[in-house]
Amino acid sequence: MVRDHASNLSEQAVERVMRIGLYSPFFGSTIGGGEKYLGVAAEAVREAFPGAEIEILSLVPVDVGLYERMLGLNLRHIAVRTTNREPSRLKRALARLPTLRIYRDLIVSAQAAPATARYDLFISMVYVLPAFSRARRSVLLCQFPYEQKLHLNGEPRLRGRL
- Residue 25 in domain: yes
For position 61, what pLDDT does the model report?
87
- Residue 162 in domain: no
| Tens digits of residue pLDDT in 88-103 | 676 666 667 777 767 7
User: How many Cβ atoms from other residues are within 10 Å of residue 28's Cβ?
Assistant: 22
- Residue 72 in domain: yes
For position 124, what pLDDT does the model report?
92
- CA-CA-CA-CA dihedral for 117, 102, 128, 111, to nearest 10: 10
Q: How many structural domains are present in the chain?
A: 1
- Residue 96 in domain: no
Instruction: Quote the pTM value.
Output: 0.74
- Residue 100 in domain: no
CB 136 within 8 A of CB 116: no
Give the domain extent around 44: 16-86+112-143
**What is the three-class DSSP state of 133?**
coil
- Residue 121 in domain: yes
Higher pLDDT: 13 or 82? It is 82
| Residue 3 pLDDT class (50, 70, 90 cuts) | very low
Sheet holding 137-140, edge to edge: 78-82, 53-58, 19-23, 121-124, 137-140
Closest C-alpha among 110, 108, 104, 140 to residue 122 = 140
- Residue 105 in domain: no
DSSP calls for 83-128: S-SS--HHHHHHHHSTTTHHHHHHHHHHHHGGGGGG-SEEEE--SS
Which of 6-20, 22-36, 69-83, 146-160: highest mean pLDDT? 69-83
